[in-house]
């Protein structure tokens, strides 16, 4: 049952990613990227990493993808105006990405995962446990992350402003 | 306890294969496409596949520290996307296009 569920969600993710890479219309491409983000959130929840699943839905499928769609519609690019790349360059891209996939899978072929221990703690991904970890051991990086976000906001406004 | 039985049933190799395929699709998109927004989305796809693998290793080990790292990666990715899209909007304002073959001024 769990295997069928995993294979279904993985298939949705890979199909969405393939459509995202090859769709001519950028609007449909971004919409299929949203599907990929949701299926990755589903995989997080299958792994019992519920906090990460919810954060994935809120941050990626919610905020970042809406930002992408907003920029896309603001720039009015929905027509297919992408200049054609030569077929040779396209073939070279597909070829080298395939080689990368083969070499990654080949590198993992000899990798033996030891059997999962029976008593693995499956509740590490719950919000309660992660929150305890985040606000005890990782409280300084957490605060620094807020400074980073603030710098990001200022930088985005500074770059986006017309004349400064 | 559903998560526990899922970890027992689905081997970790499945996650390695899935994440490798997603990462290589992201690389393929960066190499093949010319729209700057789509290329930024492909970078996001690669980032997400690596995040998923990190969370999978963390869950199979029963250690929460990896998931904290994934959370921080998401924070940095959000800031990166905001700045990157601002740069793309600026590029569009200057050239009325987001096709990256126009932006070859930095070519040596």
Residue-wise pLDDT tens digits, B2-19: 446 777 788 888 899 999
A chain contacts of residue B43, beta-carbon cutoff 8 Å: none
Q: What is the ipTM of this complex?
A: 0.89
Calculate the alpha carbon distances from A93 to A87, B23, B28, B44, B54 in Å. Answer: 10, 14, 6, 19, 27
Contact B34 A111 (CB under 8 A): no
Task: Tell me how close the Cα of B105 comes to any Cα of chain A, in angstroms.
Answer: 18
Confidence label for B93 from pLDDT (cuts 50, 70 and 90): confident
Residue of A nearest to B57 (CA): A47
Banded model confidence at residue A83, pLDDT cuts 50, 70, 90 = low
Q: What is the pLDDT of residues B19-63, one digit of tens each?
A: 999 999 999 999 998 888 999 999 999 999 999 999 999 888 888
Q: Which has more confidence, A117 or A120?
A: A120
| Chain segment A25-66, per-residue pLDDT in tens | 888 999 999 999 999 999 999 988 889 999 999 999 889 999
**pLDDT band at A90; cut points 50, 70, 90:** confident
Whole-model pTM: value is 0.89
Question: Best of A24, A65, A75, A163 to disrupt the B interface by mutation (most B CBs within 10 Å)?
Answer: A75
Q: Which residues of A touch B36 (CB under 8 A)?
A: none
Cβ-defined contact of B55 to A116 (cutoff 8 Å): no
Q: Give A157's contacts in chain B (Cβ within 8 Å).
A: 86
d(CA B8, CA A150): 42
Note whether A30 contacts B37, CB cutoff 8 Å: yes
| Average confidence (pLDDT) over A138-162 | 91
Per DSSP, the three-state class of B95 is: helix
For residue A135, the tally of other CB atoms under 10 A from its CB is 10
CA distance B75 to chain A (A): 7
Contact assignment for A6 to B10 by CB distance below 8 Å: yes
State residue B3's pLDDT score: 46
The pair of three-digit structure tokens given for residue B88, joined into one six-digit string: 């793309």
Q: What integer pLDDT is reported at residue A38 of this predicted model?
A: 95
Angle at the Cα of B102 (from A161 to A71), degrees rounded to 5? 40
pLDDT, position B2:
47
Average pLDDT over residues A105-129: 76
Residue ranges in chain A assigned as alpha helix (H): 2-22, 26-46, 50-55, 65-75, 87-109, 127-136, 139-160
Q: DSSP string covering B61-79, please?
A: HT-THHHHHHHHHHHHHHH
Please say if the pLDDT value at position A81 is more than 80.
no
Q: What is the pLDDT of residue B1?
A: 46
Closest partner residue to A52 (CB to CB) among B2, B6, B55 is B55
DSSP A86: P
Cβ neighbors of B103 (< 8 A, separation 6 or more) are: B36, B91, B95
Mean pLDDT of chain B: 87
Q: How far is B64 from chain A (nearest CA, A)?
A: 5
Whether B82 and A156 lie within 8 Å, measured CB to CB: yes
Give residue A118's pLDDT. Answer: 63
Cβ distance B33 to A82 less than 8 Å, yes or no, reads yes
Please give the pLDDT value at position A85: 62
- Interface contact A156-B22, CB threshold 8 A: no
Task: Name chain A contacts of B37, Cβ cutoff 8 Å.
Answer: 26, 30, 68, 71-72, 75, 77
């Amino acid at each position: 049952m769990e295997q069928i569920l995993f294979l279904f969600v993985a298939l949705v993710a890979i199909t969405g990613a393939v459509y995202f890479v090859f769709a001519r219309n950028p609007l449909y491409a971004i919409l299929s990227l949203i599907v990929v983000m949701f299926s990755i959130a589903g995989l997080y929840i299958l792994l019992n990493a519920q906090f990460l699943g919810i954060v994935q839905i809120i941050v990626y499928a919610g905020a970042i993808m809406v930002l992408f769609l907003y920029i896309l519609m603001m720039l009015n690019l929905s027509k297919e105006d992408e200049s054609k790349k030569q077929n040779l360059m396209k073939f070279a891209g597909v070829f080298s990405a395939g080689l990368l996939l083969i070499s990654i899978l080949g590198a993992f072929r000899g990798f033996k995962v030891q059997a999962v221990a029976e008593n693995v703690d499956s509740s590490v991904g719950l919000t309660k446990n992660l929150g305890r970890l985040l606000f005890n051991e990782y409280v300084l990086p957490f605060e620094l992350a807020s400074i980073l976000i603030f710098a990001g906001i200022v930088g985005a406004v500074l770059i986006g402003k017309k004349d400064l | 306890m559903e998560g526990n039985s899922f970890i027992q049933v689905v081997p970790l190799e499945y996650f390695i294969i899935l994440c490798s395929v997603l990462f290589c699709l992201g690389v393929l998109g960066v190499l093949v496409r010319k729209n700057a927004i789509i290329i930024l989305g492909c970078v996001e796809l690669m980032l997400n596949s690596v995040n998923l693998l990190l969370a999978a290793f963390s869950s199979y080990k029963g250690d929460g520290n990896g998931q904290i790292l994934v959370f921080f990666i998401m924070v940095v990715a959000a800031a990166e996307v905001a700045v990157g899209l601002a740069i793309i909007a600026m590029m569009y304002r200057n050239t009325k296009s987001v096709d990256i073959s126009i932006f070859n001024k930095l070519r040596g």
